[in-house]
Amino acid sequence: MTTVTDPVCGKQFEDTQAVAEAEHDLHTYFFCSEECRARFGADPEQYSARPSPPACAGCGGSIDQDDLICPHCGVSLAAG
């Protein structure tokens, strides 16, 4: 299993839990819903260039830049 990020909504989940997939520019994108896949399909360039949201190095869960502790696993995100 690999943690993936839905390029439309930014949700992170295991690739095996993807509701839908799409190919674009020789890359497979995974989606949490058919709605996200449809939005991607309507304008893939808008979403394929989107940077990945920050993720916890401990668990891979999505985090906010201002988080000091991962809300998913409790790992300290403080530098140094």
| Residue pLDDT, tens place only, 11-40 | 999 999 999 999 998 889 999 999 999 999
Helix (H) or strand (E) holding 27: strand 27-31
- Which residues lie closer than 8 Å to 6 by C-beta, 6 or more apart? 12, 13, 29, 30, 31, 32, 33, 36
As separate numbers, helices (DSSP H) first and strands (DSSP E) second, the chain gives: 2, 4
Q: How far apart, in Å, are the Cα atoms of 47 and each of 4, 8, 10, 16, 20? A: 14, 6, 10, 21, 15
| Stated pTM of the model | 0.62
